């Protein structure tokens, strides 16, 4: 680094250390910015070394939990917290150190210079005997911090599992819409052929043919949109699993057999359970304990502390007068007399307890709102799924009648197109409704805190008992 005059900025490898103006970007010189490390990114689900072949939902979630960087981050943070707790607890054990010095010296004397070599191995011991809660407070704070980090990791697992499930359900819904769009296009092609045949036979006008062509074109546009949406949702699912968006994977084919179950538990019970089970809220409760322990640490700094120290060593020298055993034992008492900062430290520590408590109160309100919203979203999704069955049955019957009437020459192309448009909409509703319900169930399970460690979105507790 080159430093110029005091009014100039320093250089970094010959380039000014800041942009020359606010409208100019800073251009980093070669070798200044560390290169992006090369990593073996899996390009297929099989590359993860976990599964091969088509994947079911549980495997999708498992890959996400193992590959998503968020779980790696919170796991590392939890390990740091555990190590720091261990380091704090070590203060209950005396500290023992050893050292050794080799000294070669020469001393001037009246007759001759005295030269000597001295080797002095030494062992020392130090131990805090008593400090009015400072040590125990430090250990308790470190323990609570480790617990909070562990719970944050649990919350991250649930978040990643929910993200993987939501992406999976969205992709399956888009596949269902794609299948419905293909079926609608096939029916529109059939209508066009029928209209052309009727026109050639003189029982239909060219307007029927044109109307059928419009229907085919619209169905083709809908199919192309469905194909694009399916590919986009597939990339989102790959990213949720921690894979590149263009990763190759297959999913086990699932029929339209999802059973829609009613949730018997009331929303009040679910909110109460969420306040107990949510790991992120539990982490904040642990942080309150951590803050309370820090108050004890701050107060102990205003009180005396007692320490014990010991030192033993032996000197070896080629001059006998400098040989022998040396030792000392020290009992120390530290008496704080005046330090205005200590009072402010106690006040700050007490305020941190209030801060942590307020954060927990804010989250409690948010948890209640989340459970309330997801509960009624699930109820709505269940009802819509049932209604979509009725809608599809009615639309199918209506389309069948309209098609038969048109072929018999007693119905119009407009009636047939209207019926088939309604049928296409009903198919789309049916294709999405069950996956929307499954996603709503996963969201409610997450918000209540009962989402399993592998993403199992089991039915929330019913009125007969709380499922644990």
Does residue 309 sit in the same domain as residue 247? no
Does residue 279 sit in the same domain as residue 384? yes
Is 167 part of any domain?
A: yes
How far from the centroid of its chain's Cα atoms is residue 77's Cα? 13
Question: So what's the pLDDT on residue 202?
Answer: 81
Name the strand (E) or helix (H) holding 119: strand 114-130
Selection from 41-55, 208-222, 352-366 with the highest mean pLDDT: 352-366
Does residue 172 sit in the same domain as residue 265? yes
Question: So what's the pLDDT on residue 256?
Answer: 61
Is pLDDT above 80 for 459? no
In angstroms, rounded to a whole number, what is the distance separating the alpha carbons of residues 72 and 69? 5
Does residue 422 sit in the same domain as residue 440? yes
Is pLDDT above 50 for 139? yes
Task: Kindly write down the DSSP assignment for every residue of 48-113, as one continuous string.
Answer: GTS--SSB-HHHHHHHHHHH-HHHHHHHHHHHHHHHHHHHHHGGGS-EEEEEEEEEEEEE--SSS-
Does residue 85 sit in the same domain as residue 99? no
Local structure of residue 47 (DSSP, 8 states): G
Is 28 part of any domain?
A: no
Question: So what's the pLDDT on residue 168?
Answer: 94
Does residue 187 sit in the same domain as residue 321? no
pLDDT-derived band of residue 466, with 50, 70 and 90 as boundaries?
A: very low
Does residue 251 sit in the same domain as residue 347? yes
Selection from 1-10, 248-257, 416-425, 444-453 with the highest mean pLDDT: 416-425
Is pLDDT above 80 for 180? yes
What is the arithmetic mean of pLDDT over 380-406? Answer: 91
Is pLDDT above 90 for 357? yes
Is 262 part of any domain?
A: yes
Identify which of 2, 22, 27, 24 has the alpha carbon closest to the alpha carbon of residue 12: 2
Q: Is 107 exposed, middle or buried (0-12, 13-18, 19+ CB in 10 A)?
A: exposed
Does residue 189 sit in the same domain as residue 202? yes
Question: So what's the pLDDT on residue 456?
Answer: 57
Is 50 part of any domain?
A: no
Span 9-60, pLDDT tens digits = 788 888 888 888 889 899 888 888 888 777 666 666 666 656 678 899 989 9
Identify which of 166, 153, 188, 5 has the alpha carbon closest to the alpha carbon of residue 79: 153
Does residue 187 sit in the same domain as residue 273? yes
Question: So what's the pLDDT on residue 464?
Answer: 31
Is 396 part of any domain?
A: yes
Span 57-108, pLDDT tens digits = 989 999 999 988 899 999 999 999 999 999 999 999 999 999 988 888 777 6
Residue 121: CATH number of its domain: 2.20.200.10
Domain hosting 378: range is: 60-92+133-301+339-448
Q: What is the pTM of this model?
A: 0.81
**CA angle, 322 then 327 then 332, to 5°:** 140
Q: Please indicate whether residue 1 or residue 142 has the higher confidence score (pLDDT).
A: 142
Question: So what's the pLDDT on residue 44?
Answer: 63
Q: Which of 251-260, 334-343, 353-362, 424-433 has the lowest mean pLDDT?
A: 251-260
Residue 180: CATH number of its domain: 1.20.1600.10
What is the arithmetic mean of pLDDT over 378-396? Answer: 92
As a whole number of angstroms, the longest Cα–Cα distance in the chain is: 142
Percent of the chain with pLDDT over 70: 89
Does residue 377 sit in the same domain as residue 389? yes
Looking at every residue in the chain, the average pLDDT score rounds to 86
pLDDT-derived band of residue 5, with 50, 70 and 90 as boundaries?
A: very low
pLDDT-derived band of residue 317, with 50, 70 and 90 as boundaries?
A: confident
Question: So what's the pLDDT on residue 204?
Answer: 80
SS3 of residue 315 by DSSP: strand
In this structure, the dihedral spanned by the alpha carbons of residues 233, 239, 245 and 250, taken in order and rounded to 10 degrees, is -70
Crossing angle between the packed helical segments 267-277 and 279-300, to the nearest 10 degrees: 40
pLDDT-derived band of residue 316, with 50, 70 and 90 as boundaries?
A: confident
Does residue 201 sit in the same domain as residue 254? yes
Question: So what's the pLDDT on residue 452?
Answer: 62
Number of domains in the chain: 2
What is the arithmetic mean of pLDDT over 280-297? Answer: 95
Is pLDDT above 80 for 109? no
Q: Which of 194-208, 236-250, 375-389 has the lowest mean pLDDT?
A: 194-208
In angstroms, rounded to a whole number, what is the distance separating the alpha carbons of residues 261 and 238? 29
Is 455 part of any domain?
A: no
């Amino acid at each position: 680094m080159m430093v110029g005059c005091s009014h100039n900025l320093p250089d970094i490898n010959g380039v000014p250390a800041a942009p020359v103006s606010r409208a100019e970007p800073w251009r980093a010189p070669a070798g200044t910015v560390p290169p992006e490390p090369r990593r073996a990114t899996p390009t297929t689900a099989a590359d993860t070394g976990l599964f091969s072949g088509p994947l079911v939902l549980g495997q999708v979630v498992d890959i996400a939990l193992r590959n998503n960087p968020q779980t790696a981050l919170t796991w590392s943070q939890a390990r740091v917290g555990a190590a720091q707790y261990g380091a704090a607890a070590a203060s209950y054990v005396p500290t023992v150190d050893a050292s050794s010095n080799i000294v070669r010296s020469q001393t001037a004397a009246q007759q001759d210079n005295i030269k000597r070599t001295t080797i002095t191995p030494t062992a020392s011991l130090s131990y805090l005997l008593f400090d009015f809660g400072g040590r125990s407070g430090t250990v308790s704070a470190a323990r609570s911090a480790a617990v909070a980090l562990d719970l944050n990791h649990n919350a991250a697992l649930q978040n990643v599992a929910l993200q993987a499930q939501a992406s999976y359900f969205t992709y399956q819904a888009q596949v269902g819409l794609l299948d419905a769009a293909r079926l609608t296009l096939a029916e529109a092609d059939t209508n066009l052929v029928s209209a052309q045949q009727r026109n050639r036979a003189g029982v239909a006008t060219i307007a029927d043919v044109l109307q059928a062509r419009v229907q085919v074109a619209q169905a083709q546009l809908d199919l192309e949109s469905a194909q694009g949406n399916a590919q986009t949702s597939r990339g989102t699912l790959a990213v949720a699993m921690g894979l590149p968006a263009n990763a190759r994977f297959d999913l086990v084919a699932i029929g339209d057999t999802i059973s829609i179950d009613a949730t018997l538990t009331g929303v009040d019970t679910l909110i109460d359970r969420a306040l107990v089970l949510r790991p992120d809220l539990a982490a904040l409760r642990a942080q309150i304990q951590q803050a309370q322990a820090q108050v004890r640490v701050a107060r102990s700094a205003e009180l005396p502390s007692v320490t014990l120290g010991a030192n033993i060593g032996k000197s070896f020298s080629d001059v006998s007068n400098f040989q022998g055993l040396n030792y000392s034992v020290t009992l120390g008492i530290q008496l704080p007399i005046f330090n205005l900062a200590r009072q402010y430290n106690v006040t700050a520590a007490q305020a941190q307890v209030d801060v942590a408590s307020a954060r927990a109160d804010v989250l409690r309100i948010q948890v209640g709102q989340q459970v309330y919203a997801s509960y009624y979203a699930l109820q709505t999704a269940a009802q819509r799924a049932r209604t979509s069955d009725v809608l599809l049955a009615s639309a199918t019957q209506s389309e069948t009648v309209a098609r038969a009437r048109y072929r018999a020459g007693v119905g119009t192309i407009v009636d047939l197109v209207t019926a088939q448009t309604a049928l296409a909409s009903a198919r789309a509703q049916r294709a999405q409704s069950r996956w929307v319900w499954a996603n709503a169930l996963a969201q409610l399970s997450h918000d209540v805190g009962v989402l399993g460690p592998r993403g199992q979105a089991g039915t929330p507790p019913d009125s007969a008992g709380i499922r644990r």
